[in-house]
Amino acid sequence: MSESNRSKDAIGVEAREAQAVAAGDHAGHEAHAHGAGAACCGHDHDHARAPADARAAAAPGRAIQWTRRDPARQAELALAAAPEHADACCSSDAHSREHDHAHAGHDDAGHDHAAHGSHGHAVDDHAGHDHSNHDHAGHGRAAHNHADHDHDHDHDHDHDHAANSHNHGADCCAPAALTLAPLPGTERLADGQERSAFRIMQMDCPTEETLIRKKLGGMASVATLEFNLMQRMLTVVHTPGAADSVAAAIRTLGMTPELAGAANAKAGGAIAEPAKPVWPLVAAGVAALASEAVTWAGLPTWAAALLALASVAVCGLTTYRKGWIAIRNGNLNINALMSIAVTGAMLIGQWPEAAMVMVLFTIAELIEAKSLDRARNAIQGLMRLAPDTATVRQPDGSWASVAAAEVALGAIVRVRPGERIGLDGELVEGRSSVNQAPITGESLPIEKAPGDAVFAGTINESGSFDYRVTAVASNTTLARIIHAVEEAQGAKAPTQRFVDRFARVYTPIVFAIALLVAVVPPLLLGGSWHDWVYRALVLLVIACPCALVISTPVTIVSGLAAAARRGILVKGGVYLEEGRKLGWLALDKTGTLTHGKPVRTDVEALADDLEPQRIAFMAASLASRSDHPVSQAIATAALAERGSAGAPFAEVEGFEALPGRGVRGSIDGAAYWLGNQRLAVELGRASAALDERVAALESKGRTVVMLIDATRVLGLFAVADTVKQTSREAIEQLHALGIRTAMLTGDNAHTAAAIAREVGIDDARGNQLPEDKLAAVVELSGQGRAVGMVGDGINDAPALARADIGFAMGAMGTDTAIETADVALMDDDLRKIPAFVRLSRATHRVLVQNIGFALVVKAVFLGLTVAGLGTMWMAVFADAGASLIVVGNGLRLLRASR
């Protein structure tokens, strides 16, 4: 079975041994309650325990939880941090400024907080810390002046914290235990850890991911990391209170992390970086061209060198800074390689070429970033579907425009003709037709009347109406779709994982080859040092597999966004890739192939001592408690017949659904069953005469259910459904794609065969219990081809879980379908499944094209460089050009979706 996208590319960091904290328990301790009248020194503690060996699956604030293959998390427990030590306070005279020590990586046993107050510790492993004569790495030197304890900040940070040398004044009373809430953007998990989501605007591609992964991977407070490069989001599971230390570690890499809540509040959800001025790049380009012109004119070399240095300084300092950070952290990314190559070119006197290569690289990076933003923001179109405001009825009866995010549940909202609907709701007054194409892809407007559901992002075509809000802005169907697609973007598809593994090997190998090319020929073959070092520098330029590593995520994200635009919600790249492999598609009948709105056609009373109306009444009473379409047809018909005469239904006690069979319950103290022929056989109520009557009705393509009491069958009820025209078209398209179809229905075999003949199904199986449907999917999987399952009921759950891809129909407004299916179709049009398969095959073709093209370009330039035919600027053009081509090729999937 295909690998699930619920298990993200999260890495687990080995949990370190929990160590005894001799001076008190500091886990999660961020603030102290001090006795009245004592002014505390204002230092912060961030002493988080080492993480437990646990993982969490979903990103914070997500409305969607993948519940089918990753069971739902347990209810999160409220945790309280209770400091057991008394802090010493210092008088306000003694401390004129707040003082914050960053104690990098030290231990804490014997760390006497009563003696020296609170320090903000950036890293959270404190067992065994001795403040007597230790080094505070990174300790800020300029900002604290303490009357009672001297810190000489002009020395090399050797602070002598001997016992009682750190006197902050009178001791405070022991603080009360505090319950610490996580920071905004951080949530507390059931296992006691916390999960924080950071938006990092500088995190554009796997280059930054590798740096962050290496930096945070060694921190004791970090348990798992999840990267969503397309949304520039990093989700970290960490020990309580460690969010600040995680952010501090990221900042050492030259990046600016913001907790997701704060970032969204500032940026309004935008994920594009602010525009940078172009003039420095233009000036650098002019200086590089001038350096080239000076060289051609035979003017002094120093003039060319000065112009080249000016060019590199103007446009290349960012690259050098990133390159130095990468080298310092033991990473050879494109910035490090380019920095080495340009520096090497200048050292061997290739001044004009060094400047031009840096300018071209900067231009290529800029264009590539713009192209990636197109893919990154592909889903932003969905976000813009819902208006920012809604017209809400006020308590005094007036109407006012209110921000959609502030509209409460139950509020009444008015929509005028041509307006977009701002939130999900239920229509309470007026009628109209609504264009749901932005969400479902349906081409025709849907008529809406009081009681009908309306959805955020859809368009009111004609009349004005009022609706009652049933979901706040953050939990509408549209919002859940957006969250699901963003979650899917962060999940790495199989091809992407392969490319990432290849890239981790490729760069070191090419770097080693470059070293050999620079050294071996001059030493062993008598070659020119200048020529072979230059060739090695060219190899460095093409050593970073940028085109290769960005080709897959851009293509997958474009495919996911294209599917969402068509009303197909795909839960991850793994399913987008697997869709092309489908060989069998198993389908439920009711509501999938048929309209799911059957009507009662026949009633046969078999009990001579009971009136037919009484039999119909008891059957309808049981049926009204079930949500199965067949039961609903029986209940609706009985309700229409009775009209306003008497109670609509009898009171049913002990009601119970019997999956694959029917229902049971008690009426007036007597037990009754309403179900199919299988139920009658199990209860021992079947007979030859009964079988003959049932067969006669089923031969007409009708579904038969029977009312049974403790001794006999009281009556038969026949129900018929109609086949959707779109089902016939969908089956034809699936067959044209080489996919065989099977219908698995709980209905009788006669009806199953009749529907199969009408639609063109290859294999029809009736009387299917949940375990039978599961067995059928296992059997089809045994034929060596991927199997998809389409369904939405309890009966379908085991088969959906076992299938390689589970499809849910009509997911708009249905939480369960969106949560549990691998692919959710936002309406009931079965033709979306062949559309999904075609998109999956198109995505695979683009992936193969991109990966093949990137590898061929690299191979060609490796050969040209070793042969002495490649130059540095050609290598930059090749690398940047390949990156732009694969990005553009991936974006074709978005254009195809329009």
Q: Could you report the per-residue pLDDT of 538-558, keeping only the tens digit for each?
A: 888 888 787 787 888 888 888
Where do the domains of the chain lie?
186-267, 279-377+491-555+845-896, 387-475, 599-720
Which parts of 171-234 fold into alpha helices (H)?
206-217
Which parts of 161-272 fold into alpha helices (H)?
206-217, 243-251, 260-267
What is the rounded CA–CA span in Å between residue 810 and residue 828?
Answer: 5
H helix count then E strand count, the chain: 26, 30
% of the chain at pLDDT higher than 70: 73
Q: What pLDDT, on a 0 to 100 scale, did the predictor assign at position 159?
A: 41
Residue 33 banded pLDDT, cuts 50, 70, 90: very low
Total residues belonging to the chain: 898
Query: What's the half-sphere exposure (Cβ side, CA atoms, 13 Å) at 491?
Result: 28
The architecture CATH gives domain 387-475? Distorted Sandwich (2.70)
What is the rounded CA–CA span in Å between residue 686 and residue 680?
Answer: 5
Are 638 and 620 in contact by the 8 Å Cβ rule? The answer is yes
Instruction: Report, as an integer, the average pLDDT of 315-325.
Output: 91
Neighbouring residues of 20: CB distance < 8 A, sequence distance ≥ 6? 109, 127
pLDDT digits (tens, 9 = 90+) for 236-283: 999 999 999 999 999 999 899 998 764 443 334 445 556 678 888 899
157, 172, 226: which is closest to 13 by C-alpha? 226
What is the rounded CA–CA span in Å between residue 599 and residue 839?
Answer: 37
Q: What pLDDT, on a 0 to 100 scale, did the predictor assign at position 580?
A: 94
- Statement: residue 176 has pLDDT above 50: no
Can you name the CATH fold of 186-267? Alpha-Beta Plaits (3.30.70)
Q: What DSSP character marks residue 580?
A: G
Sequence-ordered strand ranges (E) for 297-343: none
pLDDT digits (tens, 9 = 90+) for 422-464: 999 999 999 999 988 777 766 668 889 999 999 998 889 888 9
Q: Extract the tokens encoding 120.
A: 């903000």
Q: Which residue has the higher pLDDT, 87 or 744?
A: 744
- Statement: residue 849 has pLDDT above 80: yes
% of the chain at pLDDT higher than 90: 27
- Statement: residue 465 has pLDDT above 90: yes
* Alpha carbon separation from 812 to 169, 177, 488, 816 (Å, rounded): 64, 47, 18, 10
Neighbouring residues of 525: CB distance < 8 A, sequence distance ≥ 6? none
Residue 812 banded pLDDT, cuts 50, 70, 90: low
Most confident of 70-84, 169-183, 546-560, 599-613: 599-613
Instruction: Report, as an integer, the average pLDDT of 853-871.
Output: 87
As beta bridge partners, residue 604 has 716
Residue 188 banded pLDDT, cuts 50, 70, 90: confident
* Alpha carbon separation from 822 to 65, 69, 121 (Å, rounded): 12, 10, 43
3-state secondary structure of 420: strand
504, 507, 508, 539: which is closest to 521 by C-alpha? 539
- Statement: residue 41 has pLDDT above 60: no
pLDDT digits (tens, 9 = 90+) for 501-540: 887 788 888 889 889 999 999 998 888 898 999 999 988 8
Q: What pLDDT, on a 0 to 100 scale, did the predictor assign at position 379?
A: 61
Are 588 and 796 in contact by the 8 Å Cβ rule? The answer is yes
Instruction: Report, as an integer, the average pLDDT of 45-55.
Output: 37
Are 578 and 559 in contact by the 8 Å Cβ rule? The answer is no
Task: Give the pairing type, strands 432-435 and 399-403.
Answer: unpaired
Q: What pLDDT, on a 0 to 100 scale, did the predictor assign at position 820?
A: 66
| Average pLDDT of the residues of the chain | 76
Q: Which residue has the tokens 């290769």?
A: 548
Which parts of 454-545 fold into alpha helices (H)?
477-490, 494-520, 529-541
- Statement: residue 609 has pLDDT above 60: yes
- Statement: residue 312 has pLDDT above 90: yes
As beta bridge partners, residue 134 has 159
The CA dihedral of 326, 331, 335, 339, to the nearest 10 degrees, is: 90
Are 448 and 465 in contact by the 8 Å Cβ rule? The answer is yes
Q: Extract the tokens encoding 834.
A: 């062949």
Q: What pLDDT, on a 0 to 100 scale, did the predictor assign at position 149?
A: 41
Instruction: Report, as an integer, the average pLDDT of 147-159.
Output: 40
- Statement: residue 581 has pLDDT above 50: yes
What is the rounded CA–CA span in Å between residue 518 and residue 528?
Answer: 10
Judged by average pLDDT, the poorest of 482-486, 738-742, 854-858 is 482-486
Are 824 and 817 in contact by the 8 Å Cβ rule? The answer is yes
Q: What pLDDT, on a 0 to 100 scale, did the predictor assign at position 118?
A: 38
Q: What pLDDT, on a 0 to 100 scale, did the predictor assign at position 203?
A: 85
CATH of domain 599-720: 3.40.1110.10
pLDDT digits (tens, 9 = 90+) for 738-795: 999 999 988 778 888 888 888 999 999 988 888 888 899 999 998 988 999 997 656 6
Q: Extract the tokens encoding 729.
A: 């078209």
Are 875 and 858 in contact by the 8 Å Cβ rule? The answer is no
Any idea which residues carry the catalytic annotation? Answer: 588
Are 124 and 49 in contact by the 8 Å Cβ rule? The answer is yes
User: Is this model's pTM higher than 0.85 or not?
Assistant: no
Q: Which residue has the tokens 């209860």?
A: 683
Q: What pLDDT, on a 0 to 100 scale, did the predictor assign at position 378?
A: 62
